[in-house]
Structure 1
Amino acid sequence: MFNPEVDFKKQVSLMQGLRFPNKYSLKKALIHHAIENRGVNKKVSAEYLAERYLEDWRLDPKLKICLWKKQIKRDLGVDVKYGLCWLARARAKLIIYGNCSDQYGRVWDYVSAVGKFIPGSTAIVVVDNIERPPLFFQRMYICYKLVKEGYLNGCRPIIGPLWLSGFVVVDGNNNIYPVAWAVVEIENRETWCWFLRLLMEDLGMEAGLGITIKSVKQKGIREAFNVVTPKAHIIFYVRHIWANFKVQFPGILFKEAFWKAARASTKAEFKFEMNGIKFLNARAYTYLNEIGASHWSRRAFNTSCKSNMLTNNMCESFNSVLKEVRDKPILTMMEWMRRYVMKRHYEKRQGVNGYTCKLVSYVEKFLKWAMDEANCCDVYASSDDSFEVEYMSK
C-alpha cells in the first residue's frame, strides 16, 4: 500500500519487474495503485460478509450491491470489490433460501403435504426420464381448494395469463385474484395446453365455456386456447395490438381513431371511428377488421365477462410482484406464492369488515359516476325496451 509519508524511493520495490519511461510515470503508477487499493482488506472474505449481513439480506433481498458496498465501507472502514460482494450475496441467499438441488429432491414431499393438509387442492409434479433414472424435473402445478372456491363463488368469469406461469382473475371489486400457478420448463404450446387443461378441470369448465380469457397475441398461447378452450371468449390486450398497429400506421390521427374505436360502447360509434380509419388508410382498416372487433373493441365484448378492461395492467402489476421470487429455488417459490395469497386474502377481508354499503367500493364509485352523468341526459322512450338519449355536456 502506498504511504505518502514514507520516502518515495522505498516504494519503488513495489513495482519491481515493471518498466516505466521515467520517474514521473513510476510515481503516477504508484499513486494509482494506492488509490485503487486504499482501504482494501484482503482478509475480508465472502463468507464473512455473508454471515455478518445475513439478516440484512433476509429483511431486504432487493438490496443493491452498490449500496451494500457503501454500507460495508461505513461499518468496517474497508473497500471491497464488486465481485466479492456478489459472491457474498449469493452465499447469503443460499443460506436463507436453501440449495436448489436439495429442493428439487423434495418436490414429492411438498405435493404430498399439500394433499394431506389442504384436502381438495391440486398439486402435480411432472418429471422426465422416469424409465432411466436419474429423474429430471419438468413442471409443477398448484391450485388450492379454498382459492378455487373463492373464484367460483365471488369472481367474474374472466382470467388472464401471467409469465410465472399462472392465471389471475378479477373479483367483484375489480381486484386481482390469483387462482392457479405453475413452474414449467419453457413457455410454448405444449406447456400452455397442459396448464390450461388442469385449470379447466379444476374450475369445472369444459372447453372454456362461459369464461373470457384476456391474453397477448402470442402464437403458442393462442394455439393452446384454440385446442383447450375453443368455447371461451378471447380478448387481446389492446396495448399490444396498438404497439403492432402503430409500426405500420404511425401518427396522432391513427392513434386517436384507434383508441376511440377500442373504447366505443355502441356499434354506431365503433362504425364511425372505423370509417375514419378507412378514410385515412384502407390497409389500416383491413388490418383491424382481420383481428375481429370481438377481440379488441368494447362494443363487441361478450357481456358474460362483466368487464370492459382493454389493457393488461392487471397482469403487468402482478408480474412486477413476482419479480421478487423468480430467482428462488422451487419450493421457496411455491411457499412464497402460498403465503402471498394467504396474506392478500386476509388483507382484503380486513378491508371490508367495516364496510356498510351493500355494494363493493368499486361498483359504488362507478354507479355514483353514472348517476352524475345521467343528470346530463334527456331520455325519450321509443318502445318498451328502446330509448333515445340526448347527452348535454357539463
Structure 2
Amino acid sequence: MDQIESNPRVPIRAIQEELQRKYEVNILGDKVFRAKALATKTVVGDYSKQYKVLRDYVLELQATNVDRTVKIQVESKPNCNNPTRQFKRMYVCLRALKKGFKIGMRDFLGLDGAFMKRPFPGQILTAVGVDSNNGIYPLAYAIVETENTNSWKWFWECLGDNLNMHANSNFTFISDRQKLFTSCKHGLIPVIGHLFPCAEHRYCLRNIYVNMRKVWRTTEYKEHLLNCAKATTITDFETLMREFRSYDVEAYEWLMKIPPIIIGLEAISQAMSDMLLNNLCEVFNNKLINGRDKPIITCLEFIREYLTKRVCNVMKVINKCTGAFTPTRESLLQANVSSASQYTTRWNKVSKYQVKGPWHDQHVVEMTCSCRKWELTGMLCKHAIATINEMADNCEKVGELYTYVHNVYWLETWKNMYSFTVDPIKGRSM
C-alpha cells in the first residue's frame, strides 16, 4: 500500500523485485498483480462503492464552498429491482471560478470533451476561459455518460444558469471541428444556436488544418490558411481568399464550405480575443490525465485540488508583477510602440487621422482603427499608438497609454480574477 500510494503506476516487475529483495522470496506475477489491485482499491478507492457515497461528497462540497453549483442527474427511469438510483451525470462550477470569470470581462470560452479511463464509460466536458494574461481559466466541468447533443445541452443549461446567460447573450465559443460539432442535427453548434442564438462560434484552426493536410500536405497551404484566418477585415479576408483560389482552386472550394464566421477574425465582433486555437481545453485536459483513470470521487477531487493549486500558483506570479498591464500584454504593447515609430500620421483638423506605414499599410484612426485590431482585442494597435504620439506632439492632452487599453488587460483585473479561493474539504472519514 505504501508503494501504491507513493507511485500508483509502479510496474508489477518492480514490486516483485522489491519483495524479493526485502523478504528473500520469489512471488509469482499473478499474485503480485492481484495484490496490487487490492492495494490500489484501498488507496485510490473502489470504482463502484464511490458512487454510493457520491451524494455525501456533494453535500460536503456544498457545505465548504458557498455559492457553488454542483448538480447530479440520475437516470429518469428507475430500476424497480434496485432501491438506489443509477448515476448519469454530474456538473461542478465552483464559486471562486465563477466570480473570477465574471470579473475578467472576457466572454470567450473553449469547449472540449475527454474520455474517462476507467471501468465505467464516460467523458469529462470542460468549459475553459481566458484570463487577463492569456492563460487558461477553467470555469466548469462535468462528468457525463457520453459526448452527444443531450449531454452538451444539459451542460450548457447548467453553465448558462451560473453565468446568467440569456438568448441575447453575446459570447464567443471555440471548439474542435469534428463530426460531433458539424452535424446539422447532432452536436455542439445546434445546441448553442438553440440556447444562445446571439453567440458567435469559432473552429480551432489547428483542427481545420489537420483535416486539410490529409489531402494537401505542403506548408504553403498552412500559410494561406493562417493568413486568411488572421485577417481582421472583410476586405483583407476576401483578398487573401482570392490569392488562395489562384494558388489552388480545389483547396479554396474545400475551405469555402466552412462558414467564414467560424474560421477567422474578420466576422468576430465581441470576443475581446484574437485566439484561433483551442489550446485552452487541450492544456486543461492534459493536466487531468492522471485523474481521468480514477474512481469518480477521486477524479473529482483531483480536478478540485488542481484548481486550488493553480489559483495559488498564479497569485504568486501576480504578486511579483509590476506596472499597469499583465506581462503578456506589456510585451505586446512595447512591440507595437516600437513598430509605431515607422508610421507617419496626418490630421484632417477635425477628429480623424490617416496613418501610413511600410508595405502600403494605411488606415484611418478615429475612436477606433480601420484595421479593427484595437476594436477586436481591446489592445492598442500600432496605428492607434502612432496617432496618440502625433496628438502628443501637437500639445494635445492624451494621458497615459494604459487609459486607451481595455481594462481586461490591466494587472489589477488579473489580480481580482484570482482573489477568490477554492476552499478545502474534509476527508472520507468525515
Instruction: Sort the TM-score into its range (normalised by shorter chain).
Output: 0.7 to 0.9
Q: Counterpart of 2:306 in structure 1: which amino acid?
A: Y
Q: 1:277 to 1:109 in 2, by over 3 A?
A: same
Q: Counterpart of 1:315 in structure 2: which amino acid?
A: C
Task: Tell me the SS of whatever aligns to 2:101.
Answer: helix
Task: Tell me the SS of whatever aligns to 2:140.
Answer: strand
2:161 counterpart (183, 198, 201): 201
1:137 counterpart (87, 93, 114): 87
Which of structures 1 and 2 has the larger relative contact order (alpha carbons within 8 angstroms, sep 6+)?
2
Q: 1:81 to 1:276 in 2, by over 3 A?
A: farther
Q: Bigger CA drift: 283-292 or 179-188?
A: 283-292
Give yes or no for contact 2:144–2:151 (8 Å, CA) kept in 1: yes
Task: Tell me the SS of whatever aligns to 1:345.
Answer: helix
CA separation in 1, counterparts of 2:232 and 2:282? 25
Could you report, residue by residue, the CA deviation over 1:201-246 in whole angstroms, capped at 9, with x for unpaired residues? 1110113712111112233222322222322110110111112223
Indicate the residue corresponding to 1:213 in structure 2. Answer: 173
* 1:280 shift after superposition: 2.6
Which protein is richer in helix relative to its size? Answer: 1
CA separation in 2, counterparts of 1:366 and 1:166? 29
CA separation in 1, counterparts of 2:32 and 2:232? 56
Identity %: 28
Gaps of 5+ in 1: 1-53
Give yes or no for contact 2:73–2:88 (8 Å, CA) kept in 1: yes
Indicate the residue corresponding to 1:252 in structure 2. Answer: 219
CA separation in 2, counterparts of 1:165 and 1:389? 47
Give yes or no for contact 2:112–2:176 (8 Å, CA) kept in 1: no
| Mapping 1:374-393, distance limit 5 Å | 374-381=340-347, 384-385=351-352, 387-391=354-358
Indicate the residue corresponding to 2:236 in structure 1. Answer: 269
1:234 counterpart (201, 217, 220): 201
| Mapping 1:1-394, distance limit 5 Å | 54-63=1-10, 86-128=33-75, 129-130=77-78, 132=80, 133=82, 134-163=84-113, 164-207=124-167, 209-218=169-178, 219=180, 220-302=187-269, 304-381=270-347, 384-385=351-352, 387-391=354-358
Q: 1:381 to 1:77 in 2, by over 3 A?
A: farther
Q: Bigger CA drift: 78-87 or 116-125?
A: 78-87
Q: What is the TM-score of this pair, normalised by structure 2?
A: 0.72
Task: Tell me the SS of whatever aligns to 1:265.
Answer: coil
Q: What is the TM-score of this pair, normalised by structure 1?
A: 0.78
Task: Tell me the SS of whatever aligns to 2:280.
Answer: helix
Could you report, residue by residue, the CA deviation over 1:124-180 in whole angstroms, capped at 9, with x for unpaired residues? 111113363342111011111222111111252111123221211111111111111
Could you report, residue by residue, the CA deviation over 1:69-122 in whole angstroms, capped at 9, with x for unpaired residues? 666676667776665554444333211121122110112112222332223211
Give yes or no for contact 1:238–1:311 (8 Å, CA) kept in 2: yes
Q: Bigger CA drift: 204-213 or 58-67?
A: 58-67
Task: Tell me the SS of whatever aligns to 1:108.
Answer: helix
How large is the Cα RMSD of the aligned pairs? 2.6
Q: Counterpart of 1:335 in structure 2: which amino acid?
A: E
Higher Cα Rg, which structure: 1
CA separation in 1, counterparts of 2:31 and 2:168? 52
Task: Tell me the SS of whatever aligns to 2:66.
Answer: coil
Q: Bigger CA drift: 281-290 or 121-130?
A: 281-290
CA separation in 2, counterparts of 1:81 and 1:264? 64
Q: Bigger CA drift: 355-364 or 67-76?
A: 67-76
Indicate the residue corresponding to 1:19 in structure 2. Answer: none
CA separation in 1, counterparts of 2:267 and 2:31? 58
Indicate the residue corresponding to 1:22 in structure 2. Answer: none
The size of the alignment, in residue pairs, is 339
Q: Bigger CA drift: 86-95 or 232-241?
A: 86-95
Task: Tell me the SS of whatever aligns to 1:305.
Answer: coil
